[in-house]
A and B are shown apart, each in its own frame.
Chain A
Amino acid sequence: MFSGFMVNAWLVATVVALVAGVVGFFVVLRGSAFPAHAIPNGAFAGAAGANLIGVNPLIGLGVFSLAAALGIGRLSRRGRSDVVTALALMMMLALGAAFISQSTEYEPQIFSLLFGEILGVSASQVVPVAVLGAVCVAAVAVLYRRLLMTSIAPEIAAARGLRPERVELAFLVVIACSTTMTVPVVGALLIFSLMIGPPAAARSFANRPEFALVGSVAIALVTVWGALACSFTTNWPVGFYVGVFSATWFGLGRAYTWRRTRAVKGA
């Protein structure tokens, strides 16, 4: 499990978990469920297109994710309806399916892009993925306090001159960046679970933002490592384990919260 091509997988999985844990913390805090759902769909089309024309899929992922992020940023500022964005998402998915239909490896490609693949990242991509991951984490670290403030109390942040709209745009770009590197491993349809489950669980266990952030990363690491190990052993898709483990952690967090509030009420 730890030799040969699996070394790449472990390295990449670790970066993925780190990034998903950090970015996911703010996705949950800001209620950015929709962009977190939408941007990976764009990534799917991008990767499929890149595969078709023989370009490194990371480039396709990156370009389309960024376009999706900026598109969402512009649309939400104008207050456009959900319908356009929902249909645009569908369009991305259909486009991705169309791209893939033109290549010869229809089935495995769709599967790996949507549900993840241990071998989804080749050796040559480990370094770019690590670099992208470092960039994402660094961006969040630099904007940490502004992200916190604009997430919790945007009116006060605006009065303070912290410019919530700029922070939102920057964060959408961070989501796009993180999607680029995580989708090949976890899959476009399941990266959402990884970005939501561990942070949602962590916030049940921890009271302070810093602790919840660290907890989010820790739980994401355990989830992804576990998914990788299980997937290697059973050959079942990584995405399956990620979906199930994320839901389990979320359930544990809910149960813990429920018990804690009951204890307080009972006292």
Chain B
Amino acid sequence: MRFLFEPGLFSSAPVQTAFVIGGVTAVVSAIVGVLTVVRGQSFAGHALTDVATTGGSGSFLVGVTPLVGFIGAGVLGAGAMELAGVQRRRGRDVATGIVLGAATGLAALFLYLDTTRSASTGVTQQILFGSIFTVDPSTIPVVIVISVVTIALIGWMYRPLLLSSLSSELASARGVGVRRVSLLFMMTLAVSVGLSSVAIGSVLSTALLIGPAATALRLTKNLRRAFVYSCVVGVVATWLGVVLAYDSYYWDPSSQGLPVSFFIVSIIFLGYLVSGLGLVRRFVGRRASVVTVV
């Protein structure tokens, strides 16, 4: 146990901040992630992480915190993608790949300017791979508020969202504004990606979005249970990642420890692989093979 909880873990302020921010953003990602996978919008989620990279990189130049850059760019990008109808398959890969490439190139420029103009070091890895230990504790309230609002929004549009995910024609017939719901969901997706970019970095936030959700959906076809499992996996992965990262400072005194995001991604990846094993599925008692909503 001592190995796991190295001295000063729980009393360290950055760690406490990391636990709160990591936990909250993991929950949001887990919930939005389940819906993303069910709606088959994983590609859009991935695209938004590239957009978030550009936003986060530019944030220093404009003088705002990365959180604002991540979320702001994401929301704009989500709106643009929804308008351009990214859902169409034909030619989607090349065109969106090109646009994302240009966005990444722009991110490269921003990061370069960041490192030369300002005196800040480690900007690149902070934006791309996360910096949960160096997050300003004053952002905690903001993060919590945004997260609560996002989850509330999901809860508010839950029924129309599900209906339009299953069949857009059926939803329209029932009076659901399918386009509006779709746009709103993209926004929550953008916010979710933006939030997790703080913890895990924009390049890796897909892992927090898709990983726990996919793992949960492997274990159960009941949506409500999937949300719960997804949150559990996401939060456990994040908190365990924080603990291990803190510990890693002590494992090898000469090194600077390993990045939090590395641990989080590894745990998520391992979790997904393990969930495919027979004994885990039997433990969870998975029987139904059809997605149930109740």
Contact = CB atoms under 8 A, between A and B. Distances in A.
A83 interface: yes
B138 interface: no
B86 to A, nearest CB: 14
Interface string A191-203: 0110011001000
A246 B101 contact: yes
Contacts, number: 159
A82 B45 CA distance: 13
Contacts of B201: 97
Interface residues of A, number: 48
Interface in A224-260: 235-237, 239-244, 246-247, 250
B124 A98 contact: no
A99 to B, nearest CB: 9
B108 A187 contact: yes
A111 B214 CA distance: 31
Given A86-B206, A87-B207, A93-B203, A110 B124 contact: yes
Q: Which size bracket describes the interface of B in this complex?
A: 35 or more
A28 B91 CA distance: 10
Contact of A101 (B37, B125, B207): B125
B46 A107 contact: no
A193 B104 CA distance: 10
Contact of B93 (A31, A236, A243, A250): A31
Nearest to B101: A193
Contact of B101 (A102, A236, A243): A243
23 contacts: A33-B97, A83-B211, A83-B214, A86-B46, A87-B214, A90-B268, A90-B269, A93-B203, A93-B265, A94-B261, A97-B261, A114-B108, A189-B104, A190-B101, A190-B108, A197-B98, A235-B112, A236-B112, A239-B104, A243-B102, A243-B105, A247-B98, A250-B95
Interface of A: 28, 31, 33, 37, 81-84, 86-88, 90-91, 93-95, 97-98, 100-102, 106-107, 110-111, 114-116, 187, 189-190, 192-193, 196-197, 200, 235-237, 239-244, 246-247, 250
Q: Shortest 3 CB-CB distances between A and B: which pairs?
A: A243-B105, A193-B101, A115-B108
